[in-house]
Amino acid sequence: MNRFCTFCVCAAIAVTIASCGVATINPNYSSANPELMRIGGEAPGDKGPEIINMGSYCLSVTEKWKADGKTPDGQTLWSKDTLRKAVPCR
């Protein structure tokens, strides 16, 4: 029984050391649409509210960029929030 426990401890240590030697997978931050997410740099400029005529009603669309975390190498991830609300047409 003592030999079995020693073997298990040695096997666990070997697996731990081997897993530390495996190359880490680098994350790939990309977006098919850069108008929704950007990486690094300064915050993109916010657009003012835009009124869109939808026929029987109008929409007020406001877009704001926010810092949404950091990449492992310290670059800021910027994501865009969009607020839409129905407004009377002018």
Would residue 11 count as lying in a domain? no
Give 12-32 pLDDT, tens digit per residue.
887 777 676 666 666 666 667
- C-alpha 45/C-alpha 5 separation (Å) is 62
pLDDT value of position 27: 65
Enumerate the β-bridge partners of residue 57.
none
Would residue 79 count as lying in a domain? yes
Give 33-83 pLDDT, tens digit per residue.
777 788 888 888 888 889 999 988 999 999 999 988 888 888 888 888 999
CA distance readout (Å), 34 to 37, 38, 60: 5, 6, 22
Structure tokens belonging to residue 77: 């991830």
Q: Does the pTM exceed 0.95?
A: no
Would residue 58 count as lying in a domain? yes
Q: Which band of pLDDT confidence, cut at 50, 70 and 90, is reported for residue 6?
A: confident
Structurally, the chain folds into a number of domains equal to: 1
Would residue 41 count as lying in a domain? yes
